[in-house]
A and B are shown apart, each in its own frame.
Chain A
Amino acid sequence: MKKVSINYIRIIRRYEIIIASSIGIIAVVYLSFRLLFPNFMRAQEIYSEQKQLSGKLSVLKVKDNDLATVDGSFYKDALAKITKVLPQDKDYVSIFESLDNFQTKTGVTILRADFQLGNISTNSASLKKDTSSPAYIVPITLEVIGGMPQISRFIESLSDLSGRLFTVDDTSFAIRPDGLIQGSFNGKAYFYPLPTTIGSVDSPLASQSSEIRDILTSVSKNVVISGQEGGNVPMGKKNLFE
C-alpha cells in the first residue's frame, strides 16, 4: 500500500508542471463559460439596448422640439374648418349649404342638384372610394345657369377650399340665345373619416410640406364657420298674392 502511494507521488512529482498547467487551463475554460461569456452576452444586450434607447431619445427630442414650434390654436382652428371642406361622413347638409353659399357668392342659379341615393340616405349602402386619394366620394350632378364670368367663378368656388370640396369630371354647356350659359356638371363631393388614433408617444411627428401648409392657411382664411346651428332658414312667399 505504501509502495503504491509512493509510486503515485513519484508520478505526480514527475509530471507536476503538466498537471498544474492542465488544471489551470481547465479552470480558466470553466470560469470563462461560467462567468465571462454570460457577462459578455449581457454587455452585448446592454449595448444594443443602449443603442435603441439612444435612437428613441433622439426621436423624442426631435418630436419635443417640433411640438414646441407647433401653434396649437392655428391647428385647432384649421382642423375645425378643414372638416367642413372634407367632412368625416357623407354629410349631405354641408353639400346643400356649400352649394347655397356658392350660388350666393358667384351669382349663378343652381337649377338642379342630383345626388346618388343610397350613398346619402342609408349607412348600409356601399361606400365608393376615390381612385386618386384615400377619400370616399359622393357622385353629384349639378345644373346651373349664369353668365360666363359667373360660371367661371362658380367652377373655381367648387375647389377653392372656401366650402365643401367638389371636383368636376365632365361638363357640358349650352349657350342660350339670351347669352346666358346653362351648364351641367358631373362631379364628386368627398368625405374622409379621420383616423381614431394619432400614433404612439415615440412615433415622430409627421413632416409638413409647404403645399400642406398652404392648404391649411387657405382653409383657415376662406372657411367661415357659422355661429348658429339651425338658425332661421329663409322661406318662400307665404301668400301667392304678395
Chain B
Amino acid sequence: MPKKNINLLIPQEPDSPRVKKLKKILPVICAVLSGLFLISFFGILIFNNSNVATFARQKQEIDILEKKISDQKDIEGVYSLSNSDARVISKIMENKNTFINLLSEVQKLSSSDIEISTVNVNGKGDVTFTVTASNAQTLDILVNRLAEYEIQKKFSKMEAKGIVRDKLAKYLLSVTLIADKSLLK
C-alpha cells in the first residue's frame, strides 16, 4: 500500500491586503513614535535641569541687587522727589511771561515829545497804552515808529482810539495792538 500523508496542520487563511499593510505600517509607526517620545522626553529633562540651575543663579543675583538698591532708598528718594519737583517747575516755566522785552520796546516809543503814561498787557499779548504827543508832527513820528514795529512783526493789529486834542494842542490817544509772543518772554 502506498504511504499516505495526513496533513494535520490546518492551512492558514492568507492575510487580506489590509492586514498585510497594517503588519508593515504599524511597527514602523510604533518605532518612530517611541523614538520621538524618548528623544523629546530626555531633551526636555535636560533643558529643565539646566534652566533650573540658571533660574536659581539669576534669582540669587536679583535678591542681592534688590537688597543693595533697598539700602540706597534714601538716595533714590531724594533723587526722584527733586526730579519730580524740577519737572513740574519746568512745565510752569514753559508758559511763563516776563513782559520785560515788551516793556522795553514800548518804552523806546517814548521821547521828550511822546509820553507814554500807562501800559496794560495780558498773557495773550494784547497791549493797550496811552500816549500823549506834544504836537501833530510828533504824532506822525509815533505812527511811523509803530509802522516800523509792524514791518518787523513785533506788533500787529494796531489801532488808535480816543484821539483827543487838549488845550495845549497835545494829542492824547490810546493805542491797542497785539505783541508778538517772543516779546512776552
Report A's interface with B, CB cutoff 8 A: 14-15, 17-18, 20-22, 24-25, 28-29, 31-32, 35-36, 39-40, 42-43, 46-47, 49-50, 53-54, 56-57, 60-61, 63-64, 67, 70, 72, 75-76, 78-79, 82-83, 85-86, 130, 132-135, 148, 151-152, 155-156, 159, 161, 165, 167-175, 190, 192, 194-195, 198-199, 201-202, 205-206, 208, 211-212, 215-216, 219
Given A50-B55, A75-B78, are A132 and B103 also a contact pair (CB < 8 Å)? no
Given A192-B85, A202-B66, A205-B76, are A172 and B29 also a contact pair (CB < 8 Å)? no
Q: Which of B37, B86, B92 contacts A132 (CB 8 A)?
A: B92
- Interface flags for B82-101 (1: CB within 8 Å of A; 0: not) read 11111111111111111110
Contact B120 A172 (CB under 8 A): yes
Instruction: Tell me which residues across on chain A come within 8 A of B119, comparing CB atoms.
Output: 172-173, 175
Q: Which of B23, B51, B65, B103 contacts A43 (CB 8 A)?
A: B51
Instruction: Tell me which residues across on chain B come within 8 A of A76, comparing CB atoms.
Output: 78
With the chains together, A198 CA to B120 CA distance in Å? 45
The prevalent SS among residues of B at the interface is: helix
7 contacts between A and B (CB under 8 A): A18-B19, A31-B41, A67-B72, A70-B75, A75-B75, A161-B89, A172-B121
Number of chain B interface residues as a range: 35 or more
Residue in A closest to B120 when the chains form the complex, CB atoms: A172
Instruction: Tell me which residues across on chain A come within 8 A of B115, comparing CB atoms.
Output: 175
With the chains together, A50 CA to B59 CA distance in Å? 9
- Interface flags for B34-46 (1: CB within 8 Å of A; 0: not) read 1001001100110
With the chains together, A220 CA to B118 CA distance in Å? 38
With the chains together, A185 CA to B104 CA distance in Å? 17
Instruction: Tell me which residues across on chain A come within 8 A of B12, comparing CB atoms.
Output: 14
With the chains together, A190 CA to B92 CA distance in Å? 9
Instruction: Tell me which residues across on chain A come within 8 A of B69, comparing CB atoms.
Output: 60, 63-64, 67, 201
Q: Which of B72, B88, B120 contacts A86 (CB 8 A)?
A: B88
With the chains together, A208 CA to B104 CA distance in Å? 36
Instruction: Tell me which residues across on chain B come within 8 A of A43, comparing CB atoms.
Output: 44, 47-48, 51
Q: Which of A20, A36, A57, A134 contacts B88 (CB 8 A)?
A: A134
B160 at the interface (CB under 8 A from A): no
B18 to chain A, nearest CB (A): 10
Contact B66 A201 (CB under 8 A): yes
Residue in B closest to A46 when the chains form the complex, CB atoms: B51
B184 to chain A, nearest CB (A): 10
Contact B65 A60 (CB under 8 A): yes
Contact B68 A53 (CB under 8 A): no
With the chains together, A195 CA to B155 CA distance in Å? 44
Given A42-B48, A46-B55, A61-B65, are A82 and B89 also a contact pair (CB < 8 Å)? yes
Instruction: Tell me which residues across on chain B come within 8 A of A151, comparing CB atoms.
Output: 103
Instruction: Tell me which residues across on chain B come within 8 A of A75, comparing CB atoms.
Output: 75, 78-79, 82
With the chains together, A231 CA to B77 CA distance in Å? 31
With the chains together, A60 CA to B58 CA distance in Å? 12
What are the nearest 10 A-B pairs in CB distance? Answer: A21-B26, A133-B91, A170-B122, A24-B30, A172-B120, A60-B65, A72-B75, A79-B82, A75-B78, A21-B30
Contact A35 B41 (CB under 8 A): yes
Residue in A closest to B41 when the chains form the complex, CB atoms: A36
Given A35-B41, A192-B85, are A79 and B78 also a contact pair (CB < 8 Å)? yes
Contact A165 B80 (CB under 8 A): no
Instruction: Tell me which residues across on chain B come within 8 A of A190, comparing CB atoms.
Output: 88, 92
Instruction: Tell me which residues across on chain A come within 8 A of B182, comparing CB atoms.
Output: none
Contact B121 A170 (CB under 8 A): yes
Contact B51 A169 (CB under 8 A): no
